[in-house]
Amino acid sequence: MTHSDQTRPLQSRASGPLTGKVRVPGDKSISHRALILGALAVGETRISGLLEGEDVLNTAKSMQALGARVERTGDFAWKVNGVGVAGFAPPKAPLDFGNSGTGCRLVMGAVAGCPISAVFDGDASLRSRPMRRILDPLEKMGAKVISGGEGGRLPLTLQGARDPLPIVYTTPVASAQIKSAVLLAGLAAPGTTTVIETEASRDHTELMLKHFGADISSAQEGTHGRRITLKGQPELHGATVVVPADPSSAAFPVVAALIVEGSDVVLSDVMTNPLRTGLFTTLREMGASIEESEARGDAGEPMARLRVRASKLRGVEVPPERAPSMIDEYLVLAVAASFAEGTTIMRGLHELRVKESDRLEATAAMLRVNGVKVEVSGDDLIVEGRGHVPGGGTVATHMDHRIAMSALVMGCASDQPVSVDDTAFIATSFPDFIPMMRSLGAEFS
Ligand SMILES: O=C(O)C1=C[C@@H](OP(=O)(O)O)[C@@H](O)[C@H](O)C1
Ligand SMILES: C=C(OP(=O)(O)O)C(=O)O
């Protein structure tokens, strides 16, 4: 899906208490993986609660272009009939992943294990993001880059391996996308593919591979790392996947409820995989009232109901080893930190520089233009909280959904309204964000 070129500005102003019960959309990481594994399995996969955001819809289209049958059977309900491991057919046209790093990089891994070539492309944001980190291990496994931009940038043509080799690979940065690309290519290789990460990243690929019948195991490596071992050439069977609500999307109403006085908001079915909940841990350390109940799980992914009540927050120091478990949440944490009393120091954020935008600089700019004192020091972000935010600024979103949503959350409680230049990219991950926030009482106009 190509993104609409029309920009959609919006303003957010302080409202009365936010109240109500909502279910944010399905988890983006799990939605991509359900479609990809469904396409690599034999038989039928049924997915409920799929995120119908642009990023995931682009992955669905790419699976179809590679030969799987992908059908929408109802609201958030999808059916995939797969082609089997290494069974992708050559796509007739370039695969367009729009704004989505996850879709593009995971599908590169899956294509690398098939004897086909495919053109990978995306929007201006995705074209600027590094792909060498994916291509390096895939080339070791036998895939080849036929053509591509500088530093392996999109658009590029990848030729998959006829006889993929299993490898032992240590990821150079904590990245579930790198890990997943290697594991998906490793499905087609004979023998054992091993990925070692010195800091554990989200493990949805491992959990879902197991759910689809792969022989995969994971062991502790050092203090914070993991060693993942996958036996190649399994027969993956179609499965039923229930997608829990996305904690990275829940982050926005959670922070809004914390900073708007008198708020009391309930979020159902939020995924609570510990490799995704660093934001909730940090907010609790800051004094946030976030109560968890109705804990349950499906296919190894835990979920719970969260009740969030407005809270007085204080500044904290966030250690660098927590970064992988909240990598997409620092923008909205910086908003919470702006409303806290005292300094919040977030350490080890180098990976934020290579997301949909340079999120380290973009977050600092979002705060600065709204009167918050903030500093970027190397890879650290330092926010001086003063208990209130002046607001009054216009935030540049840089084709980045999470900047747009964070800025709108900031405006929910700032002294003056906060404007954003473009909300269009919110549709990549949280298409109902604006109406859902309004249903809780937010004033967006
Ligand atoms: O694997 C995934 O689903 C994701 C991994 C993370 O990226 P990295 O692997 O680049 O850290 C995260 O930022 C992204 O939103 C989703
Ligand atoms: C970084 C993100 O996604 P992706 O890498 O898939 O574009 C995100 O959703 O914040």
Other CB atoms closer than 10 Å to residue 73's CB: what's the count? Answer: 11
Going by CA atoms, what residue is nearest to atom 4 of ligand 2? 101
Is the CB of residue 102 below 6 angstroms from any atom belonging to ligand 2? yes
Q: Which residues are catalytic?
A: 328
Is the CB of residue 356 below 6 angstroms from any atom belonging to ligand 2? yes
pLDDT tens digits, residue range 151-161?
899 999 999 99
* Substitution site in 328, 349, 400, 428 for ligand 2 pocket (most atoms within 8 Å of beta carbon): 328
Confidence (pLDDT) at 151: 87
Is the CB of residue 348 below 6 angstroms from any atom belonging to ligand 2? no
> Left (φ > 0), alpha (ψ -120 to 50) or beta: where does 138 sit?
alpha
* Substitution site in 33, 59, 102, 276 for ligand 2 pocket (most atoms within 8 Å of beta carbon): 102
Helix (H) or strand (E) holding 231: strand 225-231
Residues annotated within the binding site for phosphoenolpyruvate are 28, 101, 129, 177, 359, 402
CB 225 within 8 A of CB 198: yes
Q: How far is CA 426 from CA 145, 216, 248, 432, 435, in A?
A: 32, 35, 13, 9, 12
Residues annotated within the binding site for 3-phosphoshikimate are 28-29, 33, 175, 177, 328, 355
d(CA 352, CA 429) in angstroms, rounded, equals: 17
Q: How far, in Å, from the CA of 156 to the mean position of ligand 2?
A: 20
d(CA 358, CA 396) in angstroms, rounded, equals: 12
Residues annotated within the binding site are 28-29, 33, 101, 129, 175, 177, 328, 355, 359, 402
Q: How far, in Å, from the CA of 333 to the mean position of ligand 2?
A: 16
The rounded Cα 91 to chain-centroid distance in angstroms is 26
CATH (residue range 28-242): 3.65.10.10
Q: What percent of the chain has pLDDT over 90?
A: 97
Q: Which one of the ligands is nearest to 329 CA?
A: 2
Q: How far, in Å, from the CA of 58 to the mean position of ligand 2?
A: 13
Q: How far, in Å, from the CA of 129 to the mean position of ligand 2?
A: 11
278-299 b/e with 16+ CB inside 10 Å = b? bbbebbeebebebeeeeeeebb
Q: If DSSP codes are grouped into helix, strand and coil, which group holds residue 388?
A: coil
| CATH architecture classification, 10-26+244-444 | Alpha-beta prism (3.65)
pLDDT tens digits, residue range 284-318?
999 999 999 999 998 889 999 999 999 999 999 99
Q: Which two tokens stand for residue 35?
A: 């479609």
Say which range, 2-16, 153-167, 336-350, 356-370, has the weakest mean pLDDT: 2-16
Map out the domains of the chain as residue ranges: 10-26+244-444, 28-242
d(CA 193, CA 228) in angstroms, rounded, equals: 8
pLDDT tens digits, residue range 106-118?
999 999 999 999 9
pLDDT at 2 over 50: no
Confidence (pLDDT) at 298: 85
Other CB atoms closer than 10 Å to residue 89's CB: what's the count? Answer: 12
CB 341 within 8 A of CB 370: no
Q: Quick one: which atom of ligand 1 is closest to the CA of 176?
A: 9
Side chain identity at 202, as an amino acid letter?
R
d(CA 402, CA 384) in angstroms, rounded, equals: 21
Confidence (pLDDT) at 52: 98
pLDDT tens digits, residue range 319-360?
999 999 999 999 999 999 999 999 999 999 999 999 999 999
Mean pLDDT, to the nearest integer, of 61-78? 98
Confidence (pLDDT) at 362: 98
d(CA 50, CA 40) in angstroms, rounded, equals: 18
Q: Which one of the ligands is nearest to 33 CA?
A: 1
Pocket of ligand 1 (CB under 6 A): 29, 102, 175-177, 180, 202, 327-328, 351
d(CA 31, CA 242) in angstroms, rounded, equals: 9
Residues in CB range of 440: below 8 A, 6 or more apart: 18, 19, 20, 22, 253, 256, 257, 265
Q: Quick one: which atom of ligand 1 is closest to the CA of 175?
A: 9
ipTM: 0.99
Mean pLDDT, to the nearest integer, of 373-393? 98
Confidence (pLDDT) at 153: 97
Mean pLDDT, to the nearest integer, of 6-33? 97
pLDDT at 162 over 70: yes
CB 438 within 8 A of CB 411: no
Q: Which two tokens stand for residue 381?
A: 């972000």
Q: Which two tokens stand for residue 22?
A: 């909502």
The rounded Cα 32 to chain-centroid distance in angstroms is 10
d(CA 24, CA 21) in angstroms, rounded, equals: 10
d(CA 170, CA 76) in angstroms, rounded, equals: 36
The sign of the dihedral angle between the CA atoms of 112, 117, 122, 126 is positive
